[in-house]
Amino acid sequence: MKTDIFDRQWETFLVALDGGVATLTFNRPDRLNAMSLTMREELGDFFLNLARETDVRCLIVTGAGRAFSAGGDINDFKATPEEMHDLMGRISHRWFKALWALPQIVITAVNGIAAGGGANLALSGDIVLASEAAAFAQTFQKIGLVPDLGGAFLLPRLIGPQRAKEMMLLGDKVSAEDAYRMGMVNRIVPAEQLLDEARAIATRIAGISRKAATLTKRMVNRSFEQSMEEALDAEWMAQSFLFGTEASAEGVGAFLNKSKA
């Protein structure tokens, strides 16, 4: 189903579409791409509609300027506790849940500092690339808050609970090299090659079965809460479905004929 998300002029980010690969670039460089309420509302609209774009196979998320995202815009924290409670559920969780549930494969290309919610957004990617200038910081404790945007869910699964708690309680900056060593990112890429590398990976993913890619993503994400028996049931149902698709028939035929699908 086609939407107008690639024709619309978004206030807080830029979008581009090249074949089956979409790119979203946070565009508040003067604020280190901090997420304002306007940005959060726009992200919700964009991701909810992107899920319906069946021709888009992969999404790259990056930032303009020297930051990926500094997290929440502190100017929006002037609301009352009751208002903040409402805003988190109605706006922040709306867009993040939509991002997490996307059928497309998401590649985050972390070009600079990713702090607070920006760090957790970066780590939510299915594949995380970091430039040599990238750094990650869980800065919530500096303003008396707990990690949001799934941080307490994502980080322990990537680096273990002890390291996750150290990052969250101390708020120290973690370099790209240390993030790679700990398992937070897939690859470190020279800054000038970051988007080229992201596009190369995205193009490869766009060339495989859309249904198989989406089901692989969902099975891995849901495996965090499943038993082995539940995981086996999930793969059984997915595999049975995929065996009947044209992509599978073409792939099996090409393998047997020693040709390229």
pLDDT 10s per residue in the chain (261 long)? Answer: 567 999 999 999 999 999 999 999 999 999 999 999 999 999 999 999 999 999 999 999 999 999 999 998 877 766 677 777 777 777 888 999 999 999 999 999 999 999 999 999 999 999 999 999 999 999 999 888 889 989 999 999 999 999 999 999 999 999 999 999 999 999 999 999 999 999 999 999 999 999 999 999 999 998 888 888 887 887 778 777 776 666 655 654 545 555 566
For residue 180, the tally of other CB atoms under 10 A from its CB is: 17
Q: What angle do CA 188, 190, 195 make, to 5 degrees?
A: 90
Global confidence as pTM: 0.90
Helix 228-243 × helix 246-256 angle, to 10° = 80
- The Cα 226–Cα 232 span in angstroms is 10
Q: What angle do CA 169, 174, 178 make, to 5 degrees?
A: 125
**Contact residues for 23 (Cβ-Cβ < 8 A; gap 6+):** 15, 16, 17, 59, 60, 61, 62, 195, 199
* Domain 13-206 -> CATH class: alpha beta
Give the tokens for residue 149. Answer: 């945007």
Q: Give all strands of the β-sheet with 113-115 in edge-to-edge order.
A: 67-69, 113-115, 135-137, 174-175
Question: Where along the chain do its domains lie?
Answer: 13-206, 210-256
